[in-house]
Amino acid sequence: MRRLIVNTDDFGLTSGVNRAIIELHAAGLVTSASLMARAGATDEAVELACATPSLGVGCHVVLVDGEPVLPPEKISSLVDARTGRFLNSLTAFLLRLFTGRIPAEEIEAEAAAQIAYLQQRGVQLTHIDTHKHAHIFSAVLRPVLRAARAAGIRAVRHPFEPEWAVRAAIGAPLARVVQIAALRPLAPRSRHAIEQGGFTTTDGTIAVAGTGTLNEATLRSLLEQLPAGTWELVTHPGYSDADLARVRTRLRASRDVERLALTAIQEVPGIELISFAQLETSAPATPADMLTR
């Protein structure tokens, strides 16, 4: 059996992104979306999420390039002291993280605040993931899982792309392919933490290499080679409009391309589309407090 979660990231980024997500869901092409707690069109996205219960909605935890929910002074290691916003660069974030300057407690507190912000507004969260896949690193994953578990969330993105999917990603930038290959050895440790915390996840995430280049040909290639199992297709559709032009993102023109490309999903037979809500939750192997750094 081939099962696929078609998830759209950046729900709440702009009205054009929100519109694309809801249209694609109504067309039976998108099953899930990851919602940003503090973005330009978050209020609209919350209303849409509450009005569309058939759409699985997760919390897209932002720790880089965005605005925190908590006051900056409570998470000083995560923010730029000059602006009170998160660091713009993932590289700068990782430099702080791996030199011991970001306490796990601050990551957990901000993740918990973002989750609570959405839940308190009526959003039934199905899963957790992170902006720019920051939780690919255990130092981020474990505190994020603690925050999610405390909020009753039991599903998480496993942001590692298998070799077959990278090969199938026609036109993926070489630099991104190299990054994915270099990070793949971290996958067993990540899966262990997920299982240890009693979370469920997929067999892997596809189209990570194709982020920014996911056109119809690439999508068809991925879907036609999709093996048995449960996978997440991570996408970034939207409308490239004036609102998006004002947002700091490298994914601008590609959002229109992805939005149009996703129509190919309905043309590939033998794939069951599901959301994170339909994953079976595993029993915790150890208490939640064992999710240590």
User: What domains, with CATH codes, occur in the chain?
Assistant: 2-290 (3.20.20.370)
pLDDT number for residue 247: 76
Q: Give the per-residue pLDDT at 285.
A: 42
The single-letter code of the amino acid at 156 is V
- Examine the pLDDT at 29 and tell me if it is beyond 60: yes
Is residue 248 pLDDT above 80, yes or no? no
Is the pLDDT confidence value at 244 over 90?
no
Separation of alpha carbons 159 and 202, rounded Å: 9
pLDDT band at residue 291 using 50, 70 and 90 as cut-offs? low
pLDDT bin (cut points 50, 70, 90) of residue 250 is low
- DSSP-based helix, strand, coil % in the chain, nearest 5: 45, 15, 40
For residue 286, is pLDDT > 90?
no
The three-state secondary structure class of 156 is: strand
Tell me the mean pLDDT in the region 121-130: 98
- What is the C-alpha to C-alpha distance for residues 86 and 7, in angstroms, rounded to an integer? 24
Count Cα neighbours of 146 within 13 Å in the Cβ-side half-sphere: 19
Give the predicted TM-score (pTM) of the model: 0.92
Q: Which two tokens stand for residue 201?
A: 């996840």
Residue 40, pLDDT > 90, answer: yes
Q: Of 91-105, 234-248, 279-293, which gets the smallest average pLDDT?
A: 279-293
Q: What is the mean pLDDT of the chain?
A: 93
Q: Residue 289: its pLDDT value, please? A: 45
Query: Do 274 and 195 form a contact (C-beta atoms < 8 A)?
Result: no
pLDDT at 246 over 90: no
Token pair, residue 146, equals 């603690």
Report how far apart the first and last C-alpha atoms of the chain are (Å, whole number).
36
Question: pLDDT for 60-119, tens place per residue?
Answer: 999 999 999 999 999 999 999 999 999 999 999 999 999 999 999 999 999 999 999 999
Mean pLDDT of 204-227: 94
Residue 287 pLDDT greater than 60, yes or no: no
Q: Residue 293: pLDDT band by 50, 70, 90 thresholds?
A: very low
